[in-house]
Structure 1
């Protein structure tokens, strides 16, 4: 494995970790810097397509709307496997996301176990996410006991 491939793998891992860090902090405008202008983002829950957004501007509107309904995010990234080309790459990553929302004055915790399939490209020397598909495989919701 060459030094260049190792560097690219690190850059791509940092990209998905930055997505998690910034999302958890609700820094949506900074999250948008991780995507191409023509990004596509799809979400499947229980095998059904529940979200299909194209373009960074539409995505920012969607993400801001979602973030406004969530009190707290907490994301853990797991495995990340990539196949690297000269100026593009594909990747699969696994993530666990916890979200706390307030419903009727009570905090509700939802655990999401997600498999992401990504297509990355290099633009101006920086790796970005061009296409992302999230498969929300396991979803559990419960009252948060504090």
Structure 2
């Protein structure tokens, strides 16, 4: 493996992590700059397509609409495997997502197990996500309590 490939692998991992961090911060303008202008994003929940958007403008609307009901968002990225080919690459990243919202005056915590399949492209010397397929494999919802341990 060349030094350039090692550097690119680090940059790709940082790209994926920064997309998650900016999503957690609900900074969609900065987040969308990490996607190619005409990027495609598809989201599946338990095998069914629940969202398909193309381009940064559609993504901004869809992402903000989805996350507006959540007070707190945390993505924890785990394994990230990349197949590298010059100025293009593909990768799979496992992610554990925690969402906090309010329902009927009570705090609710939702856990999601997700797997992201990405296609990356290097444009103007920087890596961007050209396509992201998110598979939300499972979801668990529970009431938060104020109990102290």
TM-score, length basis structure 1:
0.97
Aligned to 2:75: 75
1: CA distance between counterparts of 2:109 and 2:78?
Answer: 20
Q: Secondary structure of the equivalent of 1:97?
A: strand
Is residue 121 of structure 1 aligned with residue 121 of structure 2?
yes
Q: Following the alignment from structure 1 to structure 2, what is the Cα–Cα distance between the partners of residues 104 and 66?
A: 19
**1:67, CA displacement in angstroms?**
2.3
Check if 1:5 corresponds to 2:2: no
> How many residues end up aligned between the 2 structures?
146
Return the alpha-carbon distance in structure 2 between the equivalents of residues 34 and 52 of structure 1: 18
Following superposition of structure 1 onto structure 2, how do residues 51-70 of structure 1 map, counting pairs within 5 Å? 51-70=51-70
Counterparts of 2:135 and 2:66 in 1: how far apart (Å)?
17
In the alignment, the residues of structure 2 paired with residue 68 and residue 8 of structure 1 have an alpha-carbon distance, to the nearest angstrom, of 33
CA deviation after TM superposition for structure 1 residue 140, in Å: 0.4
Stretches of structure 2 lacking an aligned partner (at least 5 in a row): none
**Greater than 2 Å deviation, 4+ residue runs:** none
Q: Give the SS at the match of 1:26.
A: coil
The gaps in structure 1 that reach 5 residues or longer are none
Structure 2 distance, partners of 1:16, 1:145, is 32
Name 1:16's counterpart in structure 2: 16
Under a length normalisation based on structure 2, what TM-score does the superposition of the two structures give?
A: 0.95
Query: Over aligned residues, Cα RMSD in angstroms?
Result: 0.8
SS in 1 for 2:70: coil
